[in-house]
């Protein structure tokens, strides 16, 4: 039954598409169903429609013979992914309270600086970063999500694989650490 429903739907789609492009004229006389092949659909019987008619309609969308293949689409890189790359470039930079780069950072300064490199202006403090953007659950973290810890007093950037890049405290450089190494408070997506 599913096959018959599929065939009816395919027939209707082909006929409607062909009629829309003016490629098929349908006479009032009954026609025998001829099996036709539709790329991506398969072979179906469509009364009154020939393979040549389908090919002429579909040919309007096919590249010319010998034409170069279309260029592959460039991958889309999100602002969050750009922010992660920027933060990774600062691994090992010193922690300095109140600093927002480019050579030293506190936690929210690193987040703000990394996102600025990605073209977004985020709030300066960890509390404001925890209140902006869109809330996301820990189970749905994506590269670049801003994670808040310790009730919002600390922030970092989700780097994937359960890790966060953050400027932790005096005497510790910017580093990669497991998200689970600190008390998770929430996450925001920008």
Helices (H), 21-135: 51-59, 79-88, 107-117, 126-131
Q: Which of 84, 107, 147, 179 is catalytic?
A: 107
- Active-site residue identified among 157, 166, 167, 188: 166
Residue 166 is a catalytic residue: yes
b (16+ CB within 10 A) / e for 44-62: bebebbeeebbeebbeeee
Question: Is 107 among the residues known to form the active site?
Answer: yes
Active-site residue (options: 15, 154, 167, 187): 154
Beta strands in 79-174 (DSSP E): 134-136, 146-149, 154-160, 163-166
Tokens of 28: 């009032």
User: What residues are labeled active site?
Assistant: 107, 154, 166
């Amino acid at each position: 039954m599913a096959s018959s429903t599929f065939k009816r739907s395919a027939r209707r789609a082909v006929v409607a598409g062909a009629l829309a492009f003016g490629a098929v004229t349908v006479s009032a006389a009954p026609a025998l169903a001829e099996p036709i092949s539709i790329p991506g659909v398969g072979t179906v019987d469509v009364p009154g429609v020939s393979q040549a008619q389908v090919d002429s309609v579909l040919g309007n969308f096919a590249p010319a013979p010998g034409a170069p293949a279309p260029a592959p689409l460039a991958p889309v890189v999100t602002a969050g992914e750009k922010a992660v790359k920027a933060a990774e470039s600062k691994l090992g930079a010193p922690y300095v309270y109140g600093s927002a780069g480019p050579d030293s950072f506190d936690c929210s300064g690193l987040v703000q600086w990394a996102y600025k490199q990605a073209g977004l202006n985020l709030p300066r403090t960890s509390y404001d970063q925890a209140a902006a953007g869109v809330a996301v659950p820990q189970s749905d973290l994506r590269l670049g999500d801003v994670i808040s810890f310790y009730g919002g007093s600390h922030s970092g950037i989700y780097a994937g694989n359960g890790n966060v890049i953050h400027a932790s405290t005096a005497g510790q450089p910017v580093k990669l650490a497991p998200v689970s190494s600190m008390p998770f408070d929430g996450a925001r997506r920008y």
